[in-house]
Amino acid sequence: MALSNTQTTYGTVTRGFHWLTALLVMTLIPVALIANDLPYDTSEQLTRKAFMFSLHKTLGVTVFFVALLRIIWAMTQSKPAALHPDRKAETLLAETAHWLLYGSLVLAPLSGWIHHASTSGFAPIWWPFGQDLPMVPKSAAVEAISGGLHEVFGKVMLVTILLHIAGALKHHFIDRDATLPRMWRGAVAPHTPVTAHHTRKPLLAAIAVWAVTLTGAGLLGYYTPHSSDTPTAELAQVASDWTVQEGSIEIAVTQFGSTVEGSFADWTADISYDPAIVSGLSGTVEVIIATSSLTLGSVTDQAMGPDFFDTGTFETATFKADLITGIDGFVADGTLTIKDQTLPLVMPFRLSVQGEDANMSANLTLDRRDFGIGANMDDESSLAFAVDVSITLAATRSETE
């Protein structure tokens, strides 16, 4: 049995690539649909959902490399002539669909891979080469664009596959020709077709379809960053003795063994502090955080839910403390309120004051269970109990009247 193509039939390698690709794609599409619909309210459900998404991603990366090899092989082979060259419109449509299919088989998994690499957290790809890609940053913009492209390319792939299958069935059951047998078992057409005369029209037609589809998707907002449906609490202005010029409140959680980092965008700090006091109570601080302003990689929406921050019920978290200056450094001694849980918290911090400017930083680790965050996630292999918090701010002493 010939490995290479001829003018009348497909070789073993081409047919092998065709059916391997079909098997992979017809597996990963339903896997993705199932994964999207699975709940993730408990550790067991989240693990099951992550398994399905990991399977989808791993199959997608496999399709990418198989498609590349298939295209490289096709470039070295002659393409069998069309069985019905006199049907010009049908032949143009079939070859255009082939170009669309080849493109989507590369671009759909590649855009999905870039989306995975630009996003923190959730389901890993099952392979030993890491989860990142060179020159792909962790970026909300890259995540949005690549995610939108993945969805568009995936839909084009699905439509093209359905057209491809419909055409094959039409050839087999209506035309009763050798289209399907020569791809299935390498059969030769009973009547040898004329020598193939391939043109660039199908490629140009496919490019036109891509241009219209991608432009339309852009106009529909496919490439814009996803925004949460949860409204962010409007925080009142504070009249603080020290005005925060810049700062960040960042958190890091561990999910399925990978670190997922995020930060709160909206928060206020009411700071009263006297740097002249070198020992004992030297000030107070009250920080109010709009919890729905959190971005946390691919699990941002999950973090807003009732089993986590429950931002629909509890709009803010509050840290209120006395500032203590001691021999060994500085401590904020107070309470942290998240949801309906208020617990004592002692937070050592670093502080430098130069004239009217102050810079502060602190690192601490909280146990999410203490505040009822993810109480139904009792398996650390899914979501670790420890949450690392990093705080930095630069403040300027407010002018006194």
Same domain, 384 and 327: yes
Task: Return the pLDDT at 401.
Answer: 41
Nearest CA among 304, 397, 308, 295 for reference residue 356: 397
When mean pLDDT is compared across 96-100, 212-216, 348-352, 376-380, the lowest value belongs to 376-380
pLDDT, tens only, 139-150 = 989 999 999 999
pLDDT (average), residues 290-316: 92
Task: Return the pLDDT at 84.
Answer: 79
| pLDDT > 90? residue 31 | yes
Residue 228 in domain: no
Same domain, 379 and 307: yes
| pLDDT > 50? residue 362 | yes
Nearest CA among 118, 228, 105 for reference residue 161: 105
Same domain, 285 and 144: no
| Alpha-carbon distances, residue 201 vs 17, 159, 206 (angstroms) | 25, 20, 9
pLDDT, tens only, 175-198 = 888 888 889 888 876 665 555 556
pLDDT (average), residues 30-55: 91
In the chain, what is the straight-line distance between the N-terminal and C-terminal CA atoms, in Å?
94
Same domain, 281 and 182: no
Same domain, 186 and 267: no
Residue 40 in domain: yes
| Alpha-carbon distances, residue 94 vs 83, 84, 153, 232, 290 (angstroms) | 12, 11, 18, 51, 55
pLDDT (average), residues 42-47: 86
Residue 83 pLDDT level (bands cut at 50, 70, 90): confident
Same domain, 185 and 260: no
360: left (phi over 0), alpha (psi -120 to 50) or beta: beta
Residue 232 in domain: no
- Distance between CA atoms of residues 110 and 184, nearest Å: 28
pLDDT (average), residues 34-58: 91
Task: Return the pLDDT at 228.
Answer: 58
Looking up tokens 């309120």 gives: 337
Looking up tokens 């921050």 gives: 309
Residue 262 in domain: yes
Looking up tokens 């020709």 gives: 177
Q: How many helices (H) and strands (E) does the chain have?
A: 7, 10
How many Cβ atoms sit within 10 Å of the Cβ of residue 239? 7
Residue 376 in domain: yes
| pLDDT > 50? residue 131 | yes
Mean residue pLDDT of the chain comes to 91
Tokens of 311: 């931002």
Task: Return the pLDDT at 269.
Answer: 96
Contact at 8 Å (CB) between 83 and 178? yes
Same domain, 62 and 208: yes
- Distance between CA atoms of residues 368 and 52, nearest Å: 26
How many Cβ atoms sit within 10 Å of the Cβ of residue 29? 16
- Distance between CA atoms of residues 52 and 90, nearest Å: 38
Residue 252 pLDDT level (bands cut at 50, 70, 90): very high
Same domain, 126 and 160: yes
pLDDT, tens only, 194-231 = 555 567 899 999 999 999 999 999 999 999 986 656 66
Task: Return the pLDDT at 276.
Answer: 94
Residue 100 in domain: yes
Nearest CA among 120, 106, 93, 199 for reference residue 153: 106
Amino acid identity at 194: V
pLDDT, tens only, 311-334 = 999 999 999 999 999 988 999 999
- Distance between CA atoms of residues 213 and 5, nearest Å: 33
Q: 219, 253, 281 — which closes off a domain?
A: 219
Query: For the whole model, what pTM was predicted?
Result: 0.84
Q: 219, 252, 285 — which closes off a domain?
A: 219
Rg over alpha carbons for the chain, rounded to the nearest Å, is 29
Nearest CA among 356, 400, 8 for reference residue 189: 8
Same domain, 175 and 306: no
Residue 335 in domain: yes
CATH code (residue 157): 1.20.950
Same domain, 88 and 214: yes
Q: Which residues contact 162 (CB under 8 A, 6 or more apart)?
A: none
Same domain, 256 and 170: no
How many Cα atoms within 13 Å fall on the side-chain side of residue 344? 3
pLDDT (average), residues 4-20: 91
Looking up tokens 């992979």 gives: 24
Same domain, 189 and 71: yes
Q: 219, 253, 275 — which closes off a domain?
A: 219
- Distance between CA atoms of residues 75 and 82, nearest Å: 17
CATH code (residue 299): 2.40.128.110
Q: What percent helix, strand, coil does the chain show, rounded to 5? A: 40, 25, 35
Domain of residue 181, residue span? 12-219
- Distance between CA atoms of residues 286 and 37, nearest Å: 41
Q: What percent of the chain has pLDDT over 70?
A: 95
- Distance between CA atoms of residues 318 and 308, nearest Å: 16
Residue 5 in domain: no
- Distance between CA atoms of residues 313 and 305, nearest Å: 10
pLDDT (average), residues 16-43: 93
If one counts the domains in the chain, the total is 2
